[in-house]
Copies of this chain bind each other. A is one copy, B any other.
């Protein structure tokens, strides 16, 4: 069964955390994506009724069930796109790619695997979430050129312990470090991201870690009505950014309309498509 992305996924599970940066991980991710896209090409597609302005969504559909919503204009049904991006990333030569193109390639990689799991497994939320962590964690590590850790030492007078974290990347002395929460969607759980940033600010000093969460989408599909909405809490985000901690960027693959607007209000909340990350590293750390 060379075409079952879940078999490749289980290989990835065995090796990923040992060396996040390893190119073999990107090979395995590519195999997962290729197999998922190939399988999905045999399934029907149904149009969903998008209640999100200026976005169109569809779902893959079998007799038994439908996948999650897929953004029409972001979805690239071609595994070559991933291969080309992967090769360019290995050489650190991304000049031929736009931020928009990279966003679409990574969105397609993530959503194709998620949709495959949606229609072949029952109520499995964990596998798509972990795959997305692998995908983003590896790409982030590649761009920065260092491996992440998920545990930091705490030495605070008579307290000596370690703090479990999302991926954190240490670029070395006199450079900021990155704090990278990775989520399929956030809803009301998003407050955790700000709270973890607050803990890092408190324990290690404000500004020491740049909080740059990467989120896939905030869409929710009503399976009966076949309607897609985005669940967003922009007013709460503004309060969190003012009163809990400051996140440096919030990256999305499918940027929600009402969060995009937060770029224009106070306090500044920099919500961007993830593709931009690959070109703005100097801005972030400068």
Contact = CB atoms under 8 A, between A and B. Distances in A.
State the main secondary structure of chain A at its contact with B: helix
Given A159-B238, A191-B192, A192-B189, A243 B154 contact: no
A243 B161 contact: no
Contact of A192 (B164, B195, B203, B243): B195
B159 A236 contact: no
> How many of chain A's residues touch chain B, expressed as a range?
20 to 34
A282 interface: no
Contact of A198 (B154, B163, B235, B243): B243
A185 to B, nearest CB: 16
A243 B189 contact: no
A240 interface: yes
Contacts of A235: 161, 163
Contacts of A163: 235-236, 239
Nearest to A196: B191
A191 B202 contact: no
Interface in A153-210: 154, 158-159, 161, 163-164, 189, 191-192, 194-196, 198-199, 201-203
Contacts of A15: none
A244 interface: yes
A198 B202 CA distance: 13
A242 interface: yes
Contacts of A159: 238
Nearest to A191: B195
A244 B192 contact: no
Contacts of A238: 159
Given A192-B192, A195-B244, A203-B239, 19 more contacts: A154-B239, A158-B266, A159-B238, A161-B239, A163-B235, A164-B236, A189-B192, A191-B192, A191-B196, A195-B198, A198-B198, A198-B243, A198-B244, A199-B240, A199-B243, A199-B244, A201-B243, A202-B243, A203-B243
The 7 closest A-B pairs by CB, nearest first: A202-B243, A195-B195, A161-B235, A191-B195, A199-B243, A198-B244, A191-B192
